[in-house]
Amino acid sequence: MDWLGQMLGLPQSFLFSGTGGGVIQGTTCETILCTLVAARDQMLAKVGRENIGKLVFYRSDQTHCALLKAAKLSQESLRTTIRLDVEAGLIPVFLCATIGTTSTTAVDPIRDSKQVVDYKDWQITLSRRFRSMKLWLVLRSYGVCNLKNFLSSHVKMARLFQLVESDNRVEKEPNGCNIEAKLVDPEYANAFNRNLLETMNASGKVFMTHTVVEGIYVITICCWCHSNRG
């Protein structure tokens, strides 16, 4: 984990050699469970176990499926929700912010959210499914330099894909770290996209997948394979 922290240029406070460190859990579900339990126990130690029924947590509609989905997360809506909950006698205990969802790689407004989190003297925890051995093997066999070249190649592919914006049949869905496109027919958008995806995949020349965002069937392109080149 220190290797990764140093590669990302994180300050010493995030490293085991400093005051940081951490544990990589086996799955996202385990991570959510551990952080929820830790947040719950920390708050109950302050307010008493008799108040466990008043504890509330917050998340966006793109949060991992291990948590129930609800309203979109924004600084103002989060601030308002917390204020109303406090006025109702509830105790804010946990905020689940999302960085890169499985469906759309959506990213919650982390910089804004942390300002609200400060009200509860808590922080947004960061973790991922178990990657220790895989991370070690990749760093030892691939190296930091090759990883940088790999990422640069994918950035070039993302920029190339932006050319689809010039086609008026395509509506681009930018979500920060990803680029998606949905081909829209005014009356038959979902059926059209579904048939188009099946046709492209049946050709054997390209393989794509889909997701559903706010009821719209979206065709997604994800180029993560090490053999892809920009």
Beta strands 55-59 and 91-96: pairing type? parallel
Residue written as token pair 């008043």:
54
For the ranges 9-13, 50-54, 165-169, which has the lowest average pLDDT? 165-169
Token pair recorded at residue 133: 């051995």
State the Cα–Cα distance between residues 114 and 41, nearest whole angstrom.
21
Helices 143-161 and 132-141 pack at an angle, to 10 degrees, of 100
Alpha helices in the chain (DSSP H): 2-7, 28-47, 75-87, 110-117, 132-141, 143-161, 189-203
* Residue 70 confidence (pLDDT) above 60: no
Structural domains of the chain sorted by starting position, each given as residue range(s) with its CATH number in brackets? 2-120 (3.40.640.10), 143-220 (3.90.1150.10)
State the Cα–Cα distance between residues 25 and 64, nearest whole angstrom.
15
Q: How confident is the model at residue 199 (pLDDT cuts 50, 70, 90)?
A: very high
Helices 75-87 and 110-117 pack at an angle, to 10 degrees, of 20
State the Cα–Cα distance between residues 63 and 110, nearest whole angstrom.
13
For the ranges 37-51, 55-69, 118-132, which has the lowest average pLDDT? 118-132
Residue range 44-68: mean pLDDT, rounded: 73
Share of residues in the chain with pLDDT > 70 (%): 58
pTM for this one? Answer: 0.40
Mean pLDDT of the chain: 71
* Residue 122 confidence (pLDDT) above 70: no
